[in-house]
């Protein structure tokens, strides 16, 4: 039975949250917003609250998938375009993060690697405005794709995943296992 890539999704989601929290400052017009928007965001008031737009560039590295004699290390550069929605009280109701990733999956021992791409959107819906413990996270799009000369597509994670209270409540689309990369990284 295939297990979904929940740890990687959660790592990506948590890294996004940490990145947003660490880089957060209060841009002009964003005072009192909970949590604050991305550094450099532009915010404007609407009839129902405030909307902020911002872009950030970051990198990440994660491991945890074993190929026996080595682990797979995933590293990527990520460009995130964020649209953040706040109610009239200044509490977040929804965050939309559009992520473009380019990176590698690598053998932790030899350094052999394969490239990957990802283009996906993460939508954080706050059941209780401003409260991260009440967030439902929906990820849609192409999370990871590895295409190799002579082999074609060897990893393809795409579709939709909904996580609520730390549990996957919905999943659709092709899900590949990173262990499928082991022969290509040996």
- The H-or-E segment that residue 114 falls in is strand 113-126
Angstrom distance (rounded) from CA 172 to CA 119: 16
User: Would you state the pLDDT for residue 38?
Assistant: 83
The answer to whether position 158 is within a domain reads yes
Distances (CA, A) of 164 to 10, 120, 167: 11, 18, 5
Answer whether residue 80 shows pLDDT above 60.
yes
| Structural domain count of the chain | 1
User: Would you state the pLDDT for residue 50?
Assistant: 95
Angstrom distance (rounded) from CA 68 to CA 48: 54
Which range of residues forms the domain containing residue 114?
6-185
* Contact between 59 and 75 (Cβ < 8 Å): yes
The answer to whether position 46 is within a domain reads yes
- The H-or-E segment that residue 7 falls in is helix 6-23
The answer to whether position 89 is within a domain reads yes
pLDDT digits (tens, 9 = 90+) for 84-131: 999 999 999 999 999 999 999 999 999 999 999 999 999 999 999 999
The answer to whether position 1 is within a domain reads no
State the average pLDDT for the chain: 86
Where helices occur in 77-122 by DSSP H, the ranges are none
Answer whether residue 56 shows pLDDT above 60.
yes
Residue 147 neighbours by CB distance under 10 Å: 14
Answer whether residue 23 shows pLDDT above 70.
no
**Helices and strands, counts by H and E, the chain:** 2, 8
pLDDT digits (tens, 9 = 90+) for 127-186: 999 999 999 999 999 999 999 999 999 999 999 999 999 999 999 998 888 899 999 999
The answer to whether position 105 is within a domain reads yes
User: Would you state the pLDDT for residue 40?
Assistant: 85
């Amino acid at each position: 039975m295939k297990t979904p890539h929940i740890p990687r999704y959660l790592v990506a989601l948590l890294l996004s949250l940490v990145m947003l929290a660490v880089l957060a400052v209060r841009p002009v017009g964003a005072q009192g917003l909970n949590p604050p928007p991305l550094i450099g965001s532009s915010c404007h008031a609407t009839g129902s609250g405030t909307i902020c737009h911002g872009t950030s560039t970051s990198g990440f590295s994660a491991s945890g998938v074993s190929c026996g004699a080595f682990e797979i290390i995933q590293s990527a550069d990520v460009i995130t375009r964020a649209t953040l929605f706040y109610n009239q009280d200044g509490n977040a109701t929804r965050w939309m993060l559009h992520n473009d990733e380019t990176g590698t999956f690598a053998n932790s021992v030899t350094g052999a690697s394969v490239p990957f791409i990802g283009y996906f959107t993460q939508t954080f819906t706050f059941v209780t405005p401003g409260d991260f413990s009440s967030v439902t996270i929906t990820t849609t799009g192409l999370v990871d794709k590895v295409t190799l000369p002579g082999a074609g597509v060897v990893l393809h994670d795409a579709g939709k995943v909904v996580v609520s209270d730390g549990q996957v409540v919905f999943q659709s689309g092709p899900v590949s296992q990173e262990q499928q990369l082991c022969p290509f990284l040996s």
